[in-house]
């Protein structure tokens, strides 16, 4: 009997997660104890479902999270960043992107249903999810009713990594169309610099003055970078 060959064959084949004790399987653990009890690697393994011929799904999940540095960075990765990565083709990349977009939309719906956008801190979680990883500058408006509930979010202007050209007339038109009573302005800085520029201060002042003519308040202007926000309201700049 070729004992060495048998041993090598066993070592070469990863154990299937279905062969694990039930309490250790990510999917069963999620169903029994809830998604919050799973590690990042276990959550990713549930999404991937299966590993490869050489790597079980848990090891595959752990290795990809380690390669990108975190689960968040993995989900933010562009398609080209996955080139050469084991077990992630177009289909699985599409699943990851769909999950990320579903999370964004779930957050949007939950904010729309409640009066949560009344302080600078209230808006930052939402805006970070929407704008933090954009490679170009985006200017958007959050339109609110008179109870400060979210009516809509509109991406109004896109620019280069240096600037976005903001037109007050379009902001006013959209605010009136949505029957908004208040507006929160927001844009990202792909450069990573969180502090406002002189141009940011000027456009904030112009928009506040223009919107006041139609009795719409500017509650805040938030600048978003990769992991931080700057609030004009919090810094006494409105």
d(CA 186, CA 137): 10
Confidence of residue 202 (pLDDT cuts 50, 70, 90): very high
pLDDT at 132: 77
Helix (H) or strand (E) holding 143: strand 138-144
Q: Is residue 163 within 8 Å of residue 204, measured between CB atoms?
A: no
pLDDT at 18: 67
Confidence of residue 65 (pLDDT cuts 50, 70, 90): very high
Q: pLDDT tens-digit profile of 21-55?
A: 777 788 898 998 888 898 999 999 998 888 888 88
pLDDT at 152: 87
Interval 6-32 mean pLDDT: 68
Confidence of residue 182 (pLDDT cuts 50, 70, 90): very high
Reported CATH class of domain 116-231: alpha beta
- Of 15-19, 28-32, 90-94, 168-172, the one with minimum mean pLDDT is 15-19
Q: Could you count the other beta carbons within 10 Å of the beta carbon of residue 53?
A: 8
pLDDT at 15: 59
Q: How far is CA 39 from the centre of its chain?
A: 19
* Length reported for the chain: 238
Confidence of residue 11 (pLDDT cuts 50, 70, 90): very low
Confidence of residue 9 (pLDDT cuts 50, 70, 90): very low
Which residues contact residue 104 at a Cβ distance below 8 angstroms, ignoring those fewer than 6 apart?
A: 129, 130
pLDDT at 142: 93
Confidence of residue 185 (pLDDT cuts 50, 70, 90): very high
3-class secondary structure, 151: strand
Residue 57 pLDDT > 80: yes
- Of 110-114, 181-185, 208-212, the one with minimum mean pLDDT is 110-114
Please return the burial class of 218, using the count of CB atoms within 10 Å of its CB with bins 0-12, 13-18 and 19+.
buried
d(CA 150, CA 76): 25
Confidence of residue 117 (pLDDT cuts 50, 70, 90): low
Contacts 24+ apart (CB under 8 A), 98-106: 99/47, 99/75, 100/75, 100/76, 103/129, 104/129, 104/130
Sequence ranges of the domains in the chain: 3-105, 116-231
Q: pLDDT tens-digit profile of 129-179?
A: 778 777 788 999 999 998 888 888 888 888 765 566 888 999 999 999 999
């Amino acid at each position: 009997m070729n004992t060495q060959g048998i041993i090598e064959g066993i070592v070469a084949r990863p154990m299937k997660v279905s062969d694990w004790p039930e309490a250790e399987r990510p999917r069963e653990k999620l169903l029994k104890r809830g998604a919050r009890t799973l590690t990042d690697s276990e959550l990713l393994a549930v999404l991937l479902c299966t590993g490869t011929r050489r790597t079980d799904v848990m090891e595959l999940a752990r290795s990809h999270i380690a390669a990108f540095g975190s689960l968040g960075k993995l989900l933010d990765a562009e398609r080209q960043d996955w080139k050469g990565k084991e077990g992630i083709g177009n289909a699985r990349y599409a699943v990851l992107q769909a999950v990320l977009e579903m999370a964004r939309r779930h957050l949007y719906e939950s904010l729309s249903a409640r009066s949560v956008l009344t302080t600078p801190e209230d808006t930052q979680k939402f805006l970070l999810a929407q704008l933090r990883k954009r490679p170009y500058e985006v200017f958007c408006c959050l339109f609110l009713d008179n109870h400060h509930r979210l009516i809509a979010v509109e991406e109004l202007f896109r620019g280069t990594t240096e600037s976005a050209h903001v037109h007050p007339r379009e902001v006013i038109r959209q605010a009136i169309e949505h029957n908004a009573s208040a507006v929160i302005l927001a844009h990202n800085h792909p450069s990573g610099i969180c502090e406002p520029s002189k141009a940011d201060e000027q456009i904030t002042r112009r928009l506040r003055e223009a919107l006041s003519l139609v009795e719409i308040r500017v509650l805040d202007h938030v600048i978003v970078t990769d992991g931080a926000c700057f609030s004009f309201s919090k810094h006494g700049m409105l």
